[in-house]
Amino acid sequence: MNLELLEGLRDRDYRAEGRFVAEGRIVIEKAMAAGILIECLACVPSDEAGWLQLSKDRFPVEALPSGELQDLIGYRFHRGALAIATRPAVTTLGPSTVFPGGDILVLWNVTDPENLGGLIRSAVAFGFSAVVLGPGCADPFYRKTLRSSMGNVLSCPLFSVDLDGLPSLKRDGRMLVAAALGGLSADLGEFKPPALLALVLGNEGWGLPGVVLSACDAAVSIPMVAGVDSLNVAAAGAVLMYVLARHGVKFPL
């Protein structure tokens, strides 16, 4: 196996190369289940037999002592295995884009990779059919994004959109519902979700731009006790998705 692919992972521009790094068994297995091409995999010796069995000769597997593996990739690593894989394409929404039915999550300027990953993980958990990434979002295939999503980035349909493309999300009667504090936002406990919606979340620090809010059909906020100004965007998104999706998804109690 060409170990140069793994050398100095922090310094390499994998995005420009059309690749990404999958860390740990859960993320790697999600990539395999999604049919993503694994170019190579390195693991600690105790895991070698298992990965050789899973790979079925589809990609090379190299076992290295933990210390050597850490020296090679350039940072402390405790997840047992990592792989280099071919980056999936993210479809840009357009007039002819085939779009899945169901509720969707739209993210705008979610710059923190861990927040992005957490939101995608929640979207999959609560039955949202796709995630749409607006301008300024973190790389969905960045290592931290993949880890915090528990690999769900790789199993969830991803699209990208700009301001001009927002109206295309209203196809099939889908309502754009913004998460916004104050103003004319409806209380989440009193808001009646439409049959089909796109939940739009913005940056944790400053929320959604005014032009995006203006493009939405409604706005909703989470009621909180006095003295608390906001929730982390990943936490807020999880609460909103759980409540808003219950009209279409039955969750076990």
Q: Is residue 250 part of a domain?
A: no
Residues 135, 202, single domain; the answer is yes
- Cβ neighbors of 197 (< 8 A, separation 6 or more) are 103, 104, 174, 175, 176, 177, 244
Residues 134, 202, single domain; the answer is yes
Residues 225, 100, single domain; the answer is yes
Do 89 and 111 touch, CB atoms closer than 8 A?
no
Q: How far apart are CA 90 and CA 68, in angstroms?
A: 34
Question: What angle is formed at CA 99 by the lines to CA 136 and CA 37, rounded to 5 degrees?
Answer: 70
Whole-structure pTM value: 0.90
Q: Is residue 253 part of a domain?
A: no
Asked if residue 40 has pLDDT above 80, the reply is yes
pLDDT for position 140: 96
pLDDT for position 253: 47
User: What is the pLDDT of the chain when averaged over all its residues?
Assistant: 88
Residues 155, 208, single domain; the answer is yes
Q: Identify the CATH number of the domain in which residue 209 sits.
A: 3.40.1280.10
Q: Is residue 125 part of a domain?
A: yes
Domain edge (last residue) among 53, 86, 119: 86
Q: How far apart are CA 118 and CA 128, in angstroms?
A: 14
Closest CA to 174 of 108, 117, 123, 244: 244
Q: Is residue 252 part of a domain?
A: no
Residues 203, 140, single domain; the answer is yes
- For residue range 74-125, what is the model confidence (pLDDT) as tens digits? 777 777 899 999 999 999 987 778 778 899 999 999 999 999 999 999 999 9
- Cβ neighbors of 110 (< 8 A, separation 6 or more) are 116, 119, 136, 137, 138, 201, 202, 203, 204, 233
Measured in whole angstroms, how far is the alpha carbon of residue 22 from the centre of its chain?
14
Do 241 and 118 touch, CB atoms closer than 8 A?
no
- Cβ neighbors of 149 (< 8 A, separation 6 or more) are 116, 117, 118, 120, 121
Residues 106, 140, single domain; the answer is yes
pLDDT for position 11: 46
Residues 121, 208, single domain; the answer is yes
Q: Is residue 54 part of a domain?
A: yes
Q: How many domains in the chain?
A: 2
Asked if residue 47 has pLDDT above 80, the reply is yes
Residues 193, 103, single domain; the answer is yes
Q: Is residue 181 part of a domain?
A: yes
Domain edge (last residue) among 58, 86, 114: 86
8-state DSSP, 31: H
- For residue range 121-144, what is the model confidence (pLDDT) as tens digits? 999 999 999 999 999 999 999 999
Residues 133, 191, single domain; the answer is yes
Domain edge (last residue) among 55, 86, 117: 86
Q: How far apart are CA 128 and CA 120, in angstroms?
A: 9
Q: Is residue 251 part of a domain?
A: no
SS3 percent helix, strand, coil of the chain, rounded to 5, is 35, 20, 45
- The two tokens of residue 133 are 């990434």
Of the pLDDT bands very low, low, confident and very high (cuts 50, 70, 90), residue 249 is: low
Residues 75, 99, single domain; the answer is no
Residues 241, 159, single domain; the answer is yes
Q: What is the largest CA-CA distance in the chain?
A: 59
- The two tokens of residue 127 are 């039955």
Amino acid identity for residue 138 in this structure: A
Q: Which domain holds residue 51?
A: 3-86
Q: Identify the CATH number of the domain in which residue 69 sits.
A: 3.30.1330.30
Residues 43, 62, single domain; the answer is yes
Q: Is residue 155 part of a domain?
A: yes
